Structure 1
């Protein structure tokens, strides 16, 4: 491996010359429709045609960021990536979002935090917390920055759920909007009943937190089919699409057909998509059954007996049995309040009424 002097020279070159760092986009895909819901932006180092001004280490991005930390350049490098990611919103196709990876110990650094909070509007941006290093100042400092991100319309994701950084304690502390299954869980998921059981548990937990579960590292069609069968709402990996220099607005048709065909074979009758119905929605309490925020995301739903409740949010691919468990686990006053379905960006789609849910449950049991 290169010594730190070589790394420092290469990193300074990257910070001085924007051509030496590019962000490639890997699609995040809805696993019922095959549509692209968003993109993870991934760092790629080196000039497109080669000929860098200093010897460039041939190493993966993780090694670059680790070297930046050792050389005292972690914050400026991370801030540069974050600034570019926020600016990339201008290239997003309609109704999509982007995620950018940030190490928790760097997110609390003023330069990195400022790259986010200098913007009044962070809608369509998801800050994805990676790696194991705790933030300086602990949970309180990290939560302050994340609260500012959310106040500006941004979302929060955690990586490595099930095996790594995103342990249960962290999920409970941060209550993220997106939870990414670790690729170790996804690899061989189709052939491992224990992994499938753990994914089901994590799916139920994230559902109760009103978060989205995303399977990363989906490399084979068998793993993709297993994720779809388990009702995982979002997927990412080479079985769907590889990272590219531009944001692909749609997947190749054969891939879309595979996702839709597999979802159809699983059976819409087993998912709440078949129970989705309309309900008056908007920002006027006198007219709406579901109150929406400025970005058309549900914030309250009217109780059957009057008053407002926090919405129980589902993906259309949520199994009927999981939806019924979540409905039954609510306080008695909310037991018959409609559940709310949203798309991959959190936008309102419709409601699932409890009587329809019970009918579907009885049909499945029969």
Structure 2
């Protein structure tokens, strides 16, 4: 069965005599045992995937490559209306091509990029400044960013911080034999802590065995991908049953506790206006800043001296187990470790705040379903 959108993108590539096929590889939500999202994968004439060519390719090859990335983007975006509920779609885009007019046209043809993750690879320090305006425009349209290095390498910390990723990818070299290597498990754990401090999560790629998947689950890795989890197919493949059954039995999809612990909070969509009247207000000590889609973007908390301090917001889904919510909170930098969390629904919309002392009290009381 042909991809439903290839008839629209292939004519633009007639001069190359190449045929593009777009498939989707599932990404596992390790805690839930279900698909968290799908990565778009483009193949040309059964050859290597678009995006893996060497940097010294000639101009014709470079044009074909950019056209292939644009084709991937158009195919993935056109397929979004059929995307399973509560999943995202990941589109690989080399860093140097972020501002290419073909990729820009493909991405900006859509009014929103909500549910889209731009998977950025092939880092070099040079292109960062050149592609920043395009990247910020994609982010403003709703796109999230994933970053990752090649092989065992990761992008430099400065690049990761500047790109503000939602996902940090760990390649096959990190995952291979993680169940047998204490050093690799320690490296993954440290990277997970870094990701949490950046309000991001890690995605472990190239999982090929049940032992590797169980090791990742034991390290609380939230996302995983690989042949053991699911092969790329043209229409939203399921997570393999062998992968679901390999997960530890103590990994539960939800404990339902946050529903009872979430509290209402004052909100604003205009931070500047709110800051001008905050010194005169009484009766509340937390204010959450929301964007136009009612997603939390920042949190203001009144300190002991009466001053209002703005902090980055850490959002957790309403169905997150309470112990996982506390673990994410404690992974933050010390100065914001006890700042309330923002609780969100499936669309990322703000539901209320979760106070750390209330979460900790629940855990220490040993109440059921923790």
Settle same-fold status: TM greater than 0.5: yes
Q: Give the match for residue 328 of structure 2.
A: 323
**Aligned-partner SS, 2:251:** helix
1:280 to 237, 249, 264: 264
- 5+ residue gaps, structure 2, are 1-9, 270-282
Go from structure 1 to structure 2 and tell me whether the alpha carbon gap of 1:242 and 1:231 turns closer, same or farther (over 3 Å shift).
Answer: same
Structure 2 residue 293 is matched with structure 1 residue 299? no
Q: Give the match for residue 50 of structure 1.
A: none
Q: Give the match for residue 47 of structure 2.
A: 59
2:86 to 89, 95, 102: 95
**Aligned-partner SS, 1:43:** strand
**TM score, norm. by length of structure 2:** 0.74
Shift of 1:351: 5.0
Structure 2 residue 133 is matched with structure 1 residue 144? yes
Q: Give the match for residue 176 of structure 1.
A: 165
Q: Are 2:178 and 2:185, in contact at CA under 8 Å, matched by a contact in 1? A: yes
1:126 to 117, 133, 137: 117
Q: Give the match for residue 111 of structure 1.
A: 102
Q: Give the match for residue 55 of structure 1.
A: none
Q: Are 2:268 and 2:287, in contact at CA under 8 Å, matched by a contact in 1? A: no
Q: Are 2:210 and 2:243, in contact at CA under 8 Å, matched by a contact in 1? A: no
The farther-off stretch of 32-41 and 316-325 is: 316-325
**Aligned-partner SS, 1:102:** strand
Render the CA deviation track for 1:229-271: whole Å, top value 9, x for unaligned. Answer: 11111111122111111113x435554344362525xx99xxx
Shift of 1:34: 0.9
**Aligned-partner SS, 1:204:** helix
1:215 to 186, 190, 204: 204
Q: Are 2:20 and 2:68, in contact at CA under 8 Å, matched by a contact in 1? A: no
Q: Give the match for residue 313 of structure 1.
A: 315
- Identify the structure with the greater helix proportion: 1
**TM score, norm. by length of structure 1:** 0.75
**Aligned-partner SS, 1:146:** helix
Q: CA RMSD in A?
A: 3.8
Render the CA deviation track for 1:271-296: whole Å, top value 9, x for unaligned. Answer: x9866732337966899975554545
Q: Distance in 2 between matches of 1:168 and 1:258?
A: 33
Go from structure 1 to structure 2 and tell me whether the alpha carbon gap of 1:21 and 1:40 turns closer, same or farther (over 3 Å shift).
Answer: same
Shift of 1:220: 0.9
**Aligned-partner SS, 2:174:** helix
Written as runs of structure 1 = structure 2, the 5 A alignment for 1:1-366 is: 15-16=13-14, 20-46=19-45, 59-61=47-49, 65-66=53-54, 69-70=57-58, 71-73=61-63, 74-132=65-123, 138-160=127-149, 163-248=152-237, 250-253=238-241, 255-259=243-247, 261-264=249-252, 277-280=261-264, 292-295=290-293, 297-301=295-299, 303=301, 309-314=311-316, 316=320, 322-323=327-328, 325-326=330-331, 329-331=334-336, 336-340=338-342, 346=348, 352-359=354-361
Go from structure 1 to structure 2 and tell me whether the alpha carbon gap of 1:328 and 1:303 turns closer, same or farther (over 3 Å shift).
Answer: same
- 5+ residue gaps, structure 1, are 1-11, 47-57
Q: Are 1:29 and 1:38, in contact at CA under 8 Å, matched by a contact in 2? A: yes
Go from structure 1 to structure 2 and tell me whether the alpha carbon gap of 1:115 and 1:155 turns closer, same or farther (over 3 Å shift).
Answer: same
Report the number of matched residues.
Answer: 331
Go from structure 1 to structure 2 and tell me whether the alpha carbon gap of 1:218 and 1:72 turns closer, same or farther (over 3 Å shift).
Answer: closer
Go from structure 1 to structure 2 and tell me whether the alpha carbon gap of 1:304 and 1:72 turns closer, same or farther (over 3 Å shift).
Answer: closer
